[in-house]
Structure 1
Amino acid sequence: MPLTFRKSFRILPGVRLNINKRSWSITTGGKNGPRHTRSSTGRRTTSMDLPGPFGWRRTTTSKRR
């Protein structure tokens, strides 16, 4: 089992800074409603928890040159 590094900091209410070994990301939103995440690698994710065992997620990745 490989070792991993991940740390999350709360900057403001509803805003988190997530850091891992390869990149960092900013997440806005809370438990209720949609969450938007932008990563330093160009990845953008929008997700939302739905009632019951359901969830919704859309991820787009921009091409870096």
Structure 2
Amino acid sequence: MPITFRKSFRILPGVRVNLNRRSFSVTFGHRNGPKRTYSSSGRTTTSHDLPGPFGYRSTRTRRR
């Protein structure tokens, strides 16, 4: 069983810093609204929860 690490800190209302073993990310947005996440690995994710069991997520990666 691999060992994992993930920690999240709320630094301001609507701003969260996430740490894991390989990278860190910053998330902007509230629980019930749209969220935008920027990762140090170059990934940008936009997500929004929709009514019921539905949701929307779009991910883009930075070209090298």
Shorter-chain TM-score: which interval? over 0.9
Task: Write the distance in 2 (CA, Å) between the matches of 1:14 and 1:25.
Answer: 14
- Offset of residue 22 of structure 1: 0.3
- Offset of residue 28 of structure 1: 0.4
Give 1:22's aligned amino acid: R
- Offset of residue 2 of structure 1: 1.1
Q: Which residue of 2 aligns with 1:29?
A: 29
**Cα displacement string for residues 30-57 of structure 1 (whole angstroms, at most 9, x for unaligned residues):** 1121000000011000000000000100
Percent of pairs with identical residues: 69
Query: Could you tell me the TM-score, scaled by structure 1's length?
Result: 0.94
CA RMSD of aligned residues (A): 0.7
Query: Could you tell me the TM-score, scaled by structure 2's length?
Result: 0.95
Give 2:9's aligned amino acid: F
Q: Which residue of 1 aligns with 2:44?
A: 44
Instruction: Give the total of aligned pairs.
Output: 64
Q: Which residue of 2 aligns with 1:54?
A: 54
- Unpaired segments of 5 or more residues in structure 2? none
- Offset of residue 3 of structure 1: 1.0
- Unpaired segments of 5 or more residues in structure 1? none
Q: Which residue of 2 aligns with 1:9?
A: 9
